[in-house]
Amino acid sequence: MIGVITVRIHDSRNSYTFELKRKITILAGDSGRGKTTLFGMVEDYNRYGKASATKISCNCDMIALRGSNWKDQIEAIENSVIIIDEDSDYIRSKEFAETVLNSSNYFLLITRAYLPQLPISVCEIYELTGRKNKKFKRVYLEQHDMYEAGVMGKLPFHPDVIVTEDSGTGYQAYNALAETIGVDCISANGKSNIYRMLSTIVDKSVLVIADGAAFGAEIRDIVERQKLFPKKIGIFLPESFEWLILKSGLVSDPGWEKITAPERFVDSKQYSSWERYFTDLLVELTKDMKKYKRYPKRKGKLPAFYKQSKSIEKVIEAIPGVEFK
């Protein structure tokens, strides 16, 4: 499935309006806001159709999933929106994650659970706002913004240490950047290790850089820690390192919409998250270039072109809110 799914669900008492643009969307927030009511309205419509009190306007089928045979149900559904309520414990399982990743559907998960096995975007975590006419309100900022809880208006942020989520191509580039400005760059060796690593760095300003396209499970704890140390922790979450390269203009222009509106191009069956899409796009754009510019398919060794000073300067320009000295 490709594209933005616009949904309006209403009955005589409640109305919900929202858009889904990625494979996985999370609806979180406090109890009593109407999340389970939304699920129940979809379930009623599935059961009784036009005879129910609910009306659904959506450019694809919308299906409420319940029961122990969830896997068979998902595998039998294609190119639809599947909504799952928060009492479904199986969403924490590895089997559920594998089933979702192999599906062509979009998933709306009503949950506040920690789901590290799923590539959840920080941009697709919502809570409900409004009383009768409810809308989805994004919990976190856009992926290209600095998350500056507590110090809004006091940018630029000056890091002493850069912490990245892994030791791949992104780390190699950020490490080259760190060397040019005389600060440390540390790999957390996995996004789930970043929170623990922050507790070991004392009396230094830390810039966390991670792939926003799949960092949704970790963002709550990181932001809560930032609130405790607002002047010491900055968070920068581009979609991915490859997205940052494309945005910086280091390589040929792929067509601006492919960077700014990827939902028009990303097939949910092919890509579980946008991170892999941007990698494939960068690989395709550089495949006919000289070897020192050719981006690796498996994110192995970063070509020299992306670590040279002029390239680093371009990447720095694409990182807002940070001053590198």
- Is residue 154 domain-resident? yes
Q: Are 68 and 208 in a shared domain? A: no
The string of DSSP codes covering 80-117 is SEEEE-TT-GGGGSHHHHHHHHT-SSEEEEE--S--TT
Residue 170 belongs to what domain range?
A: 146-317
Domain end among 103, 118, 138:
138
Angle at 279 between CA 205 and CA 218, to 5 degrees: 40
Q: In this structure, what DSSP letter does residue 214 have?
A: G
Q: What is the pLDDT of residues 44-85, one digit of tens each?
A: 999 999 899 899 999 999 999 998 999 999 999 999 999 999
Percent of the chain with pLDDT over 90: 65
The string of DSSP codes covering 1-63 is --S-EEEEEE-SS-EEEEEE-SSEEEE---TTSSHHHHHHHHHHHHHHGGGSS-EEEESS-EE
Q: Are 208 and 160 in a shared domain? A: yes
Domain end among 115, 138, 161:
138
Residue 134 pLDDT greater than 50, yes or no: yes
Closest among 230, 225, 251, 254 to 305, alpha carbons compared: 251
Task: Tell me which of 91 and 146 has the higher pLDDT.
Answer: 91
Percent of the chain with pLDDT over 70: 95
Residue 155 pLDDT greater than 70, yes or no: no
- Is residue 88 domain-resident? yes
- Is residue 209 domain-resident? yes
Q: Which two tokens stand for residue 204?
A: 């230094």
Q: Are 253 and 294 in a shared domain? A: yes
Q: Where are the alpha helices (DSSP H) in 19-69?
A: 35-48
pLDDT classification of 145: cutoffs 50, 70, 90: low
Q: Are 157 and 304 in a shared domain? A: yes
Q: Are 58 and 120 in a shared domain? A: yes
Kindly report the number of other CB atoms within 10 A of residue 274's CB atom: 28
Pairing of strands 133-138, 15-20: parallel
Q: How many domains does the chain have?
A: 2
pTM attached to this predicted model = 0.92
- Is residue 322 domain-resident? no
Q: Are 122 and 150 in a shared domain? A: no
Q: Are 60 and 90 in a shared domain? A: yes
Q: Which two tokens stand for residue 162?
A: 């850069």
Residue 260 pLDDT greater than 50, yes or no: yes
Q: Are 162 and 107 in a shared domain? A: no
- Is residue 325 domain-resident? no
CATH number at residue 19: 3.40.50
Residue-level pLDDT at 298: 79
Q: What backbone phi and psi angles, to 5 degrees, belong to 95?
A: -65, -40
Q: Are 122 and 168 in a shared domain? A: no
Q: In this structure, what DSSP letter does residue 322 have?
A: B
Q: What is the pLDDT of residues 108-133, one digit of tens each?
A: 999 999 999 999 999 999 999 988 89
Domain end among 82, 103, 138:
138
- Is residue 306 domain-resident? yes
Q: What backbone phi and psi angles, to 5 degrees, belong to 312?
A: -60, -40
Range among 14-23, 202-211, 284-293 rated most confident: 14-23
Q: Are 186 and 270 in a shared domain? A: yes
Residue-level pLDDT at 150: 41
Q: Are 198 and 251 in a shared domain? A: yes
Closest among 163, 265, 266, 255 to 209, alpha carbons compared: 163
Q: Are 97 and 166 in a shared domain? A: no
